[in-house]
Structure 1
């Protein structure tokens, strides 16, 4: 798996502000993998092998990073795939998408670090009466329990820092904000 991320130049080095608000010296730009359908299929298949026995009705991913991942998982499992998006800073289902009472939902993401976006999606699922069965992602960067089982193609430990204690900030290195959350 790591070779596909290297081949597609999806592992970036520098100073990054993550969607979680934390800083890091490395960033996984999964969009660089996902722009190649053949490589996306291979990486997602690794995740699908780990979740194929779960009882899933629908796959939902947060915009932006989870859209393609949710679609490809849904395609490989022959399940409905939808996405949430922020409206005035709040995660919502739009575009006629719905989760029905009692549906079993897999949340799909590109990268999970703190689980912030996934947990926002989980709240939407619960508000609709659905049940979250887990979180699937291409890259798992989590440290500790985020409340749901995480299934990934790749588990990596990359250093992250609180903005107040970030050594890169202390060195005066400006950060880049590559994620979709502005």
Structure 2
């Protein structure tokens, strides 16, 4: 298993792009965290899932999910690693920012129980995961979907927190944990190393 420092180095190498970028929040930045580059890397995805599962220790949850697209590979890798290495299974879900106009015309996609019931129901404890946090706009959609069902947000895990004060509401309202913070110069910092 890679150390957290080795994972930090891998993520910084694969995911931090330099230049002029407009973020999903509309804010401008001289770096961009492209988390998909790591989530799709065969050499990194399992280590990232292990690190997130370790970060989630102590949080009581039933299901894991978050906003599409950033959370989809993360929660799937976490679920597989947990089942194979910890003999602990959990279902997953994801929330699209817009409702589809075809098929089920839904924005929430989740596993079904074998009895036909949805996985995410009232009083379910949901762990929310996302690759990057800037202002919290993307994750807010997932939080709202979980809370509207009557489920409980058990915690929020972020791979890379840009430390924007516009997202303080998430940090203050939920059991919030970031694997890494991102400095103003675009370097990943392990918050537990401070």
TM-score by length of 2: 0.72
Segments of 4+ moved more than 6 angstroms: none
What number of residue pairs does the alignment pair up?
158
The alpha carbon displacement at 1:96 in A equals 6.8
Residue 12 of structure 1 pairs with residue 17 of structure 2? yes
Within the candidate set 69, 72, 77, 2:77 is matched to 72
**Superimposed CA distance per residue, residues 61-112 of structure 1 (whole angstroms, 9 cap, x where no aligned partner):** 21111111111222333211111113359x8214776411100001111111
**Superimposed CA distance per residue, residues 143-164 of structure 1 (whole angstroms, 9 cap, x where no aligned partner):** 342232332322122369xxxx
Q: Give the aligned CA root-mean-square deviation in angstroms.
A: 2.3
Is contact 2:127-2:155 (8 Å) kept? yes
Distance 1:51 1:88 in 2: 29
Q: How does 1:11-160 map to 2 (within 5 A)?
A: 11-77=16-82, 78-88=89-99, 92-94=107-109, 98=118, 99-144=120-165, 145=168, 146=170, 147-158=173-184
Greater helix proportion: 2
Aligned residue in 1 for 2:3: none
- Alignment gaps of 5+ in structure 2: 1-6, 83-88, 101-105, 113-117, 187-194
The alpha carbon displacement at 1:40 in A equals 1.3
In structure 2, the residue corresponding to 1:13 is in which secondary structure? strand
- Alignment gaps of 5+ in structure 1: 161-182
Q: Which has the higher contact order (CA 8 A, sep 6+)?
A: 1
